[in-house]
Amino acid sequence: MCTAIRFDDDHDSMYFGRNLDWSEDYGEKFVFAPHDYHYQPAFNAEDKNHPVLGIGIIVDDTPLYFDCANDAGLAVAGLNYARYAKYAQEPVNFTTNVAAYEFPLWVTRNFTSVDDVQEALKNVTIVAQAINKQYPVATLHWMIADAKRSIVVECDADGLHVYDDPVDTLTNQPPFPQQMENLGNYAHVAPRTQKSVKWGNVSLATNQDANSSEGLPGGYGSVARFVRAAYNNMHYPTQSGEKANVNRLFKTLSMVSVIEGTAISANGEFEKTLYTSCFSGATRTYYLKKYDDETVASCAMSDFDNSANTLQTK
């Protein structure tokens, strides 16, 4: 279970973030890949050396990013897409082959805009290759965002699909078009409060505040979280300044965060929101808040040595 959103501030700078919901952490931290870091793609993909900062782990000198962004303000998050994700089993000739584990890194090392990524994806094969035996291939789909818009990338049994994301929101399965279609069931939901309504000749006075949002689903499942996150993200007023926008992101994602004891995975373990992250396109700063510590940690790209050639962590 996971949720991701994006939005812009009053100067059209992007803020992008996600909840990572799972039963155990991997020791994830801030990971910075500088310009001269030698990224060795799994197949025939390129590396155009954009510096990347995100949340993840390092395996075999490769950053496995759960979410990340580059110096151009392009951001990516991978979210669980169980039962639906179907990658190619082998690389395909005459296409750019990208291993599933390196997809966020490949996107952020090579591109500066969603438009450029979308164009490149017309000739990309995402391959079901693990980085090693310890870390099996994760079944994911991805949200990619910049200051103008976001897209969703899904690999299904019938191939790779790229969807525009008009609500700047992503959770998990089912496929994104079904999530969007389901939003129509909540078209009546609004932040306003009606003073009274008529049922025939009977006038009914409301007896609670914000009653027009009463129909929002309250569960922790992917479909319910998608509706709730999209509603809150699309209705939150535009904010001014870094502090207000970071606060907006954390407040919005708190509406879909999972607390321990409320969701049990198939193997009987409690799932919870392990962390919430936020990337500021205005300052190229990453923010991180973990489940067991409400303190918000932060790192800017300028806090790292971009002239180095090795991965750096904080």
pLDDT confidence of residue 213: 78
Tokens of 10: 């009053």
SS3 assignment, position 196: strand
Q: What is the pLDDT of residues 220-252, one digit of tens each?
A: 999 999 999 999 999 999 999 999 999 999 999
pLDDT beneath 50, residues of the chain: none
Residues near 265 by Cβ (< 8 Å), separated by ≥ 6? 23, 271
SS3 assignment, position 276: strand
The Cα–Cα gap between 70 and 52 comes to 4
Q: What is the pLDDT of residues 77-110, one digit of tens each?
A: 999 999 999 999 999 999 999 999 999 999 999 9
Residue 174: Cβ within 10 Å count: 16
The Cα–Cα gap between 296 and 153 comes to 29
How many C-alpha atoms does 201 have within 13 Å on its Cβ side? 0
C-alpha closest to that of 270 among 220, 225, 224 = 220
281 with 291: CB under 8 angstroms?
A: no
The Cα–Cα gap between 76 and 270 comes to 26
pLDDT confidence of residue 197: 79
- Report the CATH number that the domain containing residue 270 is assigned in CATH: 3.60.60.10
* Domain extent for 7: 2-313
pLDDT confidence of residue 1: 81
The Cα–Cα gap between 272 and 225 comes to 14
**Residue 2 falls in the annotated catalytic set:** yes
- State the catalytic residue, choosing from 2, 68, 155, 278: 2
pLDDT confidence of residue 208: 64
The Cα–Cα gap between 196 and 3 comes to 35
> What is the Cα gyration radius of the chain?
20
Q: What is the dihedral of CA 23, 161, 179, 76, to 10 degrees?
A: 50
pLDDT confidence of residue 16: 99
pLDDT confidence of residue 268: 85
The Cα–Cα gap between 306 and 70 comes to 12
Residues near 149 by Cβ (< 8 Å), separated by ≥ 6? 114, 164, 165, 168
163 with 175: CB under 8 angstroms?
A: no
In the chain, the number of structural domains is: 1
